Structure 1
Amino acid sequence: MKENITYLGVVMNVNSSSVEVEISKDIPTAAPIIDGRLYKIGQIGTFVKFPAGSLTLFGIVSSVSNTPKSLDIESYEPNYGSRFLQVNLIGEKVGSRDFQKGVGTFPTINDEVHIVTEEDLRAIYSNKSERFLEIGTHSSSKNLPVYIDPHNLILRHAAILGSTGSGKSNTTANLIKRMLGKYPGSRVVLIDPHGEYSAAFSDTSKVFKINSQTSPLFIPFWAMTFDELTFFLVGRPEGQERPEDKQLREKIVQLKKDNACRIKSGAIDVNYITADSPIPFNIKELWHDMDREVNGTYSVSNEQDQTRANEKLVDKGDFSKLIPAKFEAYSPTNSAPYKSKKQTMYSYVGKIYSRLKDSRYNFMFNPDDYYDVDSPNDLDHLLREWINHDHRLTILDLSGVPFELIDISVGLITRFLYDSMYWGRNEEYTGRNRPLLMVYEEAHSYLPKSENSSHIYGYARRAVEKIFKEGRKFGIGSIVVTQRPSEISETILAQVGTFIALRLTNSSDKNTVQSAAPNNISSLMELLPSLRIGEAIIIGEAISIPTRVTIDLVEPRPSSNDPDLISSWSKPFNKDVDNYVSVVKAIREQKLN
């Protein structure tokens, strides 16, 4: 086979991690032409093969040198006409069978090594069965499509990584569009913190956004766990149980039990209700009753007898309008009316009131049609709105969510959807019978490895980690998208089955991806800083062989591209119209014009 035009050289050293190859000096050129195509010999990241009868082993070039690593360098005099390759083995192909990852047989000394041609690559990559999804083209050949397995990509989870401007948002949009186009039963929920993706999917998605006239985003407060709700309402640290926390828990449980038989989607046995049960209750009524208890005056001084029957009530107020009850002023002397001695909840009353009055939190505390048990809709309606509509792609635009609520909002959304898949795993229309993909954009901002921010307490991280650890069994998969993989939860990265890594220039980010990748292709990760815009290295369970892929541009594009600075700065500005009134109004209302 040495006469074959693909002949490259022979094996001169083999160990458990790599193979050293000596390129033949008889090759007439460093760039032979095979079947009309030019091949560059010794390019890092290119492939070679080791034919041995019906078995063909494949490897990837990790380094090139004029000095063999297997010899004593001090006693070796370099021959500058010699070339040596370090090759990492990645898979094998037996006869006409499909390419398989992993190696069962290693090459031996003096085995021949050949160039991998485009025809070889086509046999590896171009799987056009209905199971597979085209993601782009091979970077070395625009005529060679690259396919991935969406089953492994989604249910074994994935990460799309890349520095700002590397093409990360385009890759995400491209992948989602291809899924929606090929699979008519697909379901995707995209968490979009900056509101970038509605432009790319204007006709093929349902976008939920705070204050939207058509599809407003609501996340009912009563769907929170007790820890989540009390953390946000009163700043209660998780796991802490002071007397006022115990009283608040008891009041919430009682309100939920009172509503158990009136729930729109069906009555619930009160014996199963806890403070974490997602059952509607009126939080304004809760505040009003607590305020009345704390600030009331009574005709008796004994705390046990200070009940509503002994109140010195002037006006009962209106809880729906957050108007507190009014009482006769208490006497400064030891005589009636007496001041309330039930002061345990005093600090909580003011904190809850301030939250309820803040209009930024209306999407949680004033959710139209989901407010309490008397509202027309229940959680089943919200679930259908999110994952059972005409377009199959749901974009939850969190750009209007206050920063301090991003953590809880993402955590609550994720937990709610995970629970729906878990408890509906055997239903015909959801769970294992119709899987769901969750996509988390800008994941580093709310899925950090540690809670080092005053507004990040791990609610989102714990919920998403649960999907990465257990979601596969119940039909829910996930993709995290981030420009800072070094800041992402290590548990999440450890569960990622497929990495789509675009250009990463930060050394800590590159090292994070490199450490998570298999050892035998760590050299391929060294190429990350030199990738072109729109190029990605894909490794993992969704692809047959680690590959450098070019991702096509999608149109329309996500609104994440840079502004046209030169064009903008080239225009003279008109100071007479630059009055900034609308800007200040938007700041005050926290509403984008």
Structure 2
Amino acid sequence: MSIKKTYTVDSPIPYDIKTLVALLNKDNITKGVGKTGPVKGDWEDKLTRFLSRLEAKLGDRRYGFMFTPPSSAMNYNWLVAQVLKLLGSGDEAGIKIIDFSEVPADVLPVVTGTLARLLYDVQFWMDGKSRTPVTLLCDEAHLDLPVRDDADAVQRQALGAFERIAKEGRKYGFSLLVVSQRPSDVSRTILSQCNNFLALRLTNETDQGVIKRLMPDSLAGLTSILPLLDTGEALLLGDAVLLPTRIKLDAPKIAPDSATRNFWKEWGSNKPDNAAISLAIECLRGQSRFA
């Protein structure tokens, strides 16, 4: 049986968006054939507004990563090569970092949700004996995985993919590691599926309440230490430990770029770099970190 006969709307097949627009334009102007001559076509003039919106998106450079991919992306095996980079271990690297910092905020939920769904589907359709467990780390989860009632239509599309992973992914070797400064703003469905929690200092009562609900009533009083935790201290609870435990994390050998700047020291000693400011303006204009 030909593989083409099994394709569905969910099959990831490469296609040229320009060819699609041309076909839609043709449908939009094509007349039908009646008994007495030409009549209004089935799609004539019904796609005008859609095409104008689509062409505006295609001309927006911010969406170039989607609509103007490299020519190699049209290769049938291109997707295999990309997934192998993410799930494969040929480079001996167990951790892969995907940078979405330059993706426009209005489509970021769709992009992250599509990636999560793709990786989940690969694990789902893979032979069970060949699966290697994968964990997807979601940083700043309150932005991408918000409470469903607070999410807009775009965010709900991505949220559905992540909630499915949280509920069903474990049996396919796919799990989530959710990181957020505001646990109260993260999807309840996703948090309810987490087996272990590492809570650092929390001062907001609503956030503390989320952690308190995860603990047995006899130990709920431990949440009172959350606003008193020092830098690097955390409360660990879940399947990984017998009882909720206060621990001290080792400082990283390489300090992350996300570390809080020393404002009091740098305000008085660091002078503004005029060249760096000019370069930043050019990066802003070009929407790229490299001018």
TM over 0.5: yes
SS at match of 1:457: helix
Which of 205, 212, 216 is the matching residue for 1:514? 212
| Matching residue of 2:14 | 280
Which of 282, 285, 289 is the matching residue for 1:588? 285
**Whole-Å separation in 1 of the counterparts to 2:54 and 2:225:** 53
Q: CA deviation at 1:466?
A: 1.2
Which of 58, 62, 80 is the matching residue for 1:380? 80
Unaligned segments of structure 1, at least 5 residues: 1-260, 262-266, 297-302, 311-337
Residues 574 and 542 of structure 1, relative CA distance in 2, 3 Å threshold: closer
Contact 1:370 1:376 in 2 (8 A): no
SS at match of 1:468: helix
Which of 111, 136, 148 is the matching residue for 1:438? 136
Matched pairs, number: 284
Alignment of 1:82-121 (within 5 A): none
Q: CA deviation at 1:380?
A: 1.6
Residues 574 and 467 of structure 1, relative CA distance in 2, 3 Å threshold: closer
Q: CA deviation at 1:525?
A: 1.6
Unaligned segments of structure 2, at least 5 residues: none
| Matching residue of 1:304 | 32
Contact 1:411 1:463 in 2 (8 A): yes
Structure scoring higher RCO (CA < 8 A, sep ≥ 6) equals: 1
SS at match of 2:241: coil
Report which of the two structures shows the higher radius of gyration computed on alpha carbons: 1
**Whole-Å separation in 1 of the counterparts to 2:71 and 2:193:** 38
**Whole-Å separation in 1 of the counterparts to 2:276 and 2:184:** 42
Alignment of 1:355-434 (within 5 A): 355-368=57-70, 371-372=73-74, 375=75, 377-389=77-89, 390=91, 391-428=93-130, 431=131, 434=132
Cα displacement string for residues 105-136 of structure 1 (whole angstroms, at most 9, x for unaligned residues): xxxxxxxxxxxxxxxxxxxxxxxxxxxxxxxx
Residues 462 and 368 of structure 1, relative CA distance in 2, 3 Å threshold: same
| Matching residue of 1:268 | 3
Alignment of 1:18-417 (within 5 A): 268-270=3-5, 272-294=6-28, 303-305=31-33, 342-368=44-70, 371-372=73-74, 375=75, 377-389=77-89, 390=91, 391-417=93-119
**Whole-Å separation in 2 of the counterparts to 1:581 and 1:458:** 39
Cα displacement string for residues 467-503 of structure 1 (whole angstroms, at most 9, x for unaligned residues): 2111111111221000000011111111111110111
Q: CA deviation at 1:590?
A: 1.7
**Whole-Å separation in 2 of the counterparts to 1:339 and 1:473:** 50
Q: Kindly provide the amino acid, as one letter, of the partner of residue 108 in structure 2.
A: I
SS at match of 1:396: coil
**Whole-Å separation in 1 of the counterparts to 2:41 and 2:115:** 43
Contact 2:14 2:76 in 1 (8 A): no
| Matching residue of 1:527 | 225
| Matching residue of 1:502 | 200
Q: Kindly provide the amino acid, as one letter, of the partner of residue 179 in structure 2.
A: V
**Fraction of identical pairs, as percent:** 30
Q: Which runs of 4+ in 1 moved over 6 A?
A: 338-341
Q: Kindly provide the amino acid, as one letter, of the partner of residue 98 in structure 2.
A: L
Alignment of 1:423-572 (within 5 A): 423-428=125-130, 431=131, 434-450=132-148, 452=150, 454=152, 456-571=154-269
Contact 2:144 2:155 in 1 (8 A): no
Q: CA deviation at 1:454?
A: 4.9
**Whole-Å separation in 2 of the counterparts to 1:455 and 1:591:** 28
**Whole-Å separation in 2 of the counterparts to 1:587 and 1:412:** 27
Q: CA deviation at 1:294?
A: 3.0
- Relative to the length of structure 2, the TM-score reads 0.88
- Relative to the length of structure 1, the TM-score reads 0.45
Q: Kindly provide the amino acid, as one letter, of the partner of residue 564 in structure 1.
A: N
Q: CA deviation at 1:295?
A: 5.3
Q: CA deviation at 1:415?
A: 0.7
Q: Kindly provide the amino acid, as one letter, of the partner of residue 79 in structure 2.
A: L
SS at match of 2:19: helix
**Whole-Å separation in 2 of the counterparts to 1:401 and 1:554:** 28
Q: Kindly provide the amino acid, as one letter, of the partner of residue 344 in structure 1.
A: K
Residues 343 and 528 of structure 1, relative CA distance in 2, 3 Å threshold: same
